[in-house]
Amino acid sequence: MTEHEDAREPVVVLGGTGRVGAAVVDELTRRGRQAVVVSRGRPPSRGPLVEHRTGDVHDLAPALAGTRPRAVVLAVTPFTAPPADLDGFDGDFYVRVVDQLASLLPLGARVVHVGVTAIARLDDGGAVADHEDLFPASLRPFSDAHARGAEALREAPLDGTVLIPAAGLGMQDATSDAHPVLLPEPLTIADATAPVDHAVLARAVVDQLDVAGSDQRWLVRAPGLPLQVSD
Ligand SMILES: NC(=O)c1ccc[n+]([C@@H]2O[C@H](COP(=O)([O-])OP(=O)(O)OC[C@H]3O[C@@H](n4cnc5c(N)ncnc54)[C@H](OP(=O)(O)O)[C@@H]3O)[C@@H](O)[C@H]2O)c1
């Protein structure tokens, strides 16, 4: 995609009013790019570069009507905080979103999916979700839903990349101007549990929009020392 096309082509940010999505929208507009934010709630105006469309990821067609976006950020979660239980949670939540994107977007459209640390594959042969000291077993269905969504994206006729935030997301300075560090799996526990702030994660997401990267998964962490992992 050329710079000229960048300026004309809005990036669709699903969940663009959330903590991660809003940081992505801020980073897009900081770079002079347009964003179309899709969420159920209507946020205050974010300026001339940002259009808000009220919509639900369970049925994206109305919100995307009249557009054929070539770049989409998926930053949606049904749980803004860890729920007491996952009764009634649809384990195919993310698969259904990816399936809709595959049918609504042009072939090969770029999709950057913000995943969850729990799906990260570790150098001990397991995933973060296998470590109960790092991720509560009760939330496993949520992690599995993310993992299935990532797999669906890999198989979809889209140019998909999953960015997995390190477990320390939001645990340090929220306005850091550090450059993100992207690491391939398998990962050390120290890297998987490292800090990363929302601005750094957002920088990684926006960087990835213009990089062809089908089937890739990266852990995103801030540079520097890892957090101390408690026993
Ligand atoms: N360390 C980690 O691994 C880590 C930590 C935090 C987040 N994450 C991941 O980052 C992503 C974003 O999380 P976040 O913290 O930014 O969440 P958040 O602050 O709760 O924001 C969620 C966003 O999704 C939207 N949304 C929720 N349900 C929707 C629906 N049915 N249709 C349309 N929009 C919907 C919300 O807006 P409305 O409610 O108005 O629709 C909001 O914009 C998620 O994939 C999450 O798992 C990972």
pLDDT in tens, the chain (231 residues): 444 445 568 999 999 999 999 999 999 999 999 999 999 998 999 999 999 999 999 999 999 999 889 999 999 999 999 898 899 999 999 999 999 999 999 999 999 999 999 999 999 999 999 999 999 999 999 999 999 999 999 999 999 999 999 999 998 655 568 899 999 999 999 999 999 999 999 999 999 999 988 789 999 999 986 544 444
Instruction: Answer whether residue 77 is part of any domain.
Output: yes
pLDDT of residue 214: 78
CATH of the domain at 146: 3.40.50.720
Residue nearest to atom 20 of ligand 1 (CA): 80
> What is the model's pTM?
0.94
CB 182 within 8 A of CB 144: no
Instruction: Answer whether residue 38 is part of any domain.
Output: yes
Check pocket membership of 117 for ligand 1, CB cut-off 6 A: yes
pLDDT of residue 168: 94
Instruction: Answer whether residue 227 is part of any domain.
Output: no
Q: Kindly report whether the peptide bond that precedes residue 106 is cis, defined as omega within 30 degrees of 0.
A: no
Instruction: Answer whether residue 175 is part of any domain.
Output: yes
The total number of residues written for the chain in this structure: 231
Instruction: Answer whether residue 205 is part of any domain.
Output: yes
* Long-range pairs, 123-128, Cβ under 8 A, ≥24: 123/186, 123/187, 123/188, 124/189, 125/186, 128/167, 128/189, 128/192
Q: Find the domain containing 182 and state its range.
A: 3-221
Please count the structural domains in the chain.
1
pLDDT of residue 174: 55
pLDDT of residue 32: 96
Distance CA(67)–CA(88), nearest Å, equals: 32
Check pocket membership of 193 for ligand 1, CB cut-off 6 A: no
Q: Which two tokens stand for residue 17?
A: 């009013």
Instruction: Answer whether residue 70 is part of any domain.
Output: yes
Check pocket membership of 39 for ligand 1, CB cut-off 6 A: yes
